[in-house]
Structure 1
């Protein structure tokens, strides 16, 4: 997870001659909605076509984020900040779920300070930063290691992709809220506040310098890193996602929801700081990164099978288990390739 310097014009021209850029871009476009929605089980088999509605905002949006970060020399901190901005756009503007008093029942999860569905926001904004943005990008950069340090698109392609992402926001806004939340329109002050927050996050991401290596704490073995990431994901999702018939996170009632919300925040911050310290140490290896990705992905899919897809029926659970096997095979293949490369 090494950070990279700003791409120079000469490096841009050289990178455009590296083969595989189009395949890498298309892989990222496909992986983003797959990781974020399908492998969590939020889209049941009976409505799998809905992924096509999500594809423009997820695929194009995450590709634009990756291109901006790699072109400006940002690192994973920049990716996560832009991931938060992405979550604000999707959940706040396109779906209006951050403020709607009706959609998904999110208003009943917990307190609504200033009309914000606080527990829903705490779950979904970091979720988008990690599972919609950072993990798909990290996976694609592992699948296409020769392109890890450069961009996938030429300038024209980047502009076209940004237009598709904007159209994707409109498509989601025009399709989901009218059918799932008719009659609600995001208040103008809330829209203005979201715009300011998104602009601030984008500016911070562009200005954030990449971290330097050799300033972290030596990481534990990859197996421990992977197990820790799995435990953090299971804990975070389990504390904030109402499942098993619960009306609020962690089967709480009323303001007791503040307890799991606080614990989930501690889990997320602790896991993020640990990964930051480990990944900037000289002992951090590709196997450590792969273990972190694997632990997070498998825990995410396991939670989806047990708590999300289970509400849709046995076929959906079976599909989630199949996604878990596909993830294991992909990670094993990437690990074998890393071993061959290191031994060669």
Structure 2
């Protein structure tokens, strides 16, 4: 059983005297961690560290603000991870469809790594590429929202399922998010000279609203735990790492063996990605039904996702010698940062467990 659950069930507000650590600190942590895992960790943005700091002025309110709003919306209404995941999915579609327009922008439908060939999974009638849509939306669900929330909640076990902000704080975060996402949307539209059609925008809005409605129809209710064999946390983390990495492992292995790997950007690649993510989702849902599912399992699951993002970034290091070493240093710093963050979170869980055992 998760020892921290017994301390947080029924808790609606952080305990007095712990306000900073249990509310303000995790809000700030999530505010800045979400953009790092969403945009910087993967390494496709060629930016110096100074430019990254400046970029946070826009990306932190966009990604961090969204993560905070989603988490607060779920926790304030007594809902848990099913609601967070569905709201994350709604955010992913909203972000890709109505903010950065990556779902519909033709400039995203050319696979430059494959000699500027048209994207094989592009559907002209809908104006989207199924594979790109999968990458964009799932990227937001896993790395922009869910993983950062899971990591930060680990550090505050006594308010892990409680709201962190009051109405004023949430209103400020919401205003920052609206302002930042509006600036981002306008800037991208001007740079790319593209804006989705009215039909595309309407369709996206309908899907987003449907997902939000579904998210708030799900309640975190008491239910009997399943009598299943739950693997150790490190096994859960390894499963997440291997399944999320598998498409890239297949593509890299094909290239090393001299086997054409173009099928990975075609429908077979789309199917492989769907199967790997679907299997991880099914395993996670099954394992989480056990009464022995703990904060360590949640941390391992999120950690496996972050480490996947960190190692894939090394595949994107440019071949240009002038940029190679700078980019390599950045990737290494972010990888070490992820490792340190996970070690600190694991230490926090262990310390809290000892404190709880001494208390009981």
TM-score category of the 2 structures, normalised to the smaller one: 0.7 to 0.9
Provide closer, same or farther for how the CA distance between residues 295 and 318 of structure 1 changes in structure 2, counting only shifts above 3 A: same
Distance 1:52 1:238 in 2: 34
- Does residue 68 in structure 1 map to residue 78 in structure 2? no
After TM superposition, the structure 1 = structure 2 runs for residues 125-140 of structure 1, keeping only pairs within 5 Å, are 125-140=137-152
Q: Deviations over 1:208-242 (max 9, x none)?
A: 1226461363221222211111111212456799x
Q: Deviations over 1:136-164 (max 9, x none)?
A: 00111012222202111111221222222
Provide closer, same or farther for how the CA distance between residues 78 and 99 of structure 1 changes in structure 2, counting only shifts above 3 A: same
- Does residue 266 in structure 1 map to residue 275 in structure 2? yes
- Does residue 22 in structure 1 map to residue 30 in structure 2? no
State the aligned residue count.
331
Q: Deviations over 1:93-148 (max 9, x none)?
A: 11111011124736933333311122110111011111111110011101222220
Q: Deviations over 1:247-290 (max 9, x none)?
A: xx95239xx71001011101101001101111220222232222
Quote the offset at 1:177 in angstroms. 2.9
**TM-score if structure 1 supplies the norm length?**
0.86
Quote the offset at 1:65 in angstroms. 0.5
CA contact (8 A) 2:66 2:177 kept: yes
Q: What does residue 282 of structure 1 align with?
A: 291
Quote the offset at 1:321 in angstroms. 1.7
CA contact (8 A) 1:230 1:295 kept: yes
Provide closer, same or farther for how the CA distance between residues 14 and 139 of structure 1 changes in structure 2, counting only shifts above 3 A: closer
Distance 2:317 2:284 in 1: 29
Quote the offset at 1:315 in angstroms. 1.6
Aligned to 1:263, what secondary structure does the other structure show?
helix
CA contact (8 A) 2:104 2:128 kept: yes
After TM superposition, the structure 1 = structure 2 runs for residues 115-126 of structure 1, keeping only pairs within 5 Å, are 115-126=127-138
Quote the offset at 1:15 in angstroms. 5.9
After TM superposition, the structure 1 = structure 2 runs for residues 76-225 of structure 1, keeping only pairs within 5 Å, are 76-103=81-108, 105=110, 108-113=118-123, 114-179=126-191, 181-182=192-193, 184-210=194-220, 212=223, 214-215=225-226, 217-225=228-236
Distance 1:171 1:17 in 2: 38
Any stretches of 5+ residues in structure 2 without a counterpart? Answer: 112-116, 356-360
Which has the higher mean CA deviation after the structures are superposed, 278-287 or 45-54? 45-54
CA contact (8 A) 1:79 1:205 kept: yes
Distance 1:39 1:163 in 2: 26
Quote the offset at 1:197 in angstroms. 0.7
CA contact (8 A) 1:66 1:137 kept: yes
Distance 2:102 2:153 in 1: 31
Pick aligned residue for 1:336 from 347, 351, 355: 347
Any stretches of 5+ residues in structure 1 without a counterpart? Answer: none
Q: What does residue 63 of structure 2 align with?
A: 58
Provide closer, same or farther for how the CA distance between residues 16 and 63 of structure 1 changes in structure 2, counting only shifts above 3 A: farther
Distance 1:144 1:30 in 2: 16
Higher relative contact order, chain-length normalized (CA < 8 Å, sep 6+): 2
Quote the offset at 1:308 in angstroms. 2.3
**TM-score if structure 2 supplies the norm length?**
0.83
Aligned to 1:207, what secondary structure does the other structure show?
coil
Larger Rg: 2
Quote the offset at 1:317 in angstroms. 2.1
CA RMSD of aligned residues (A): 3.0
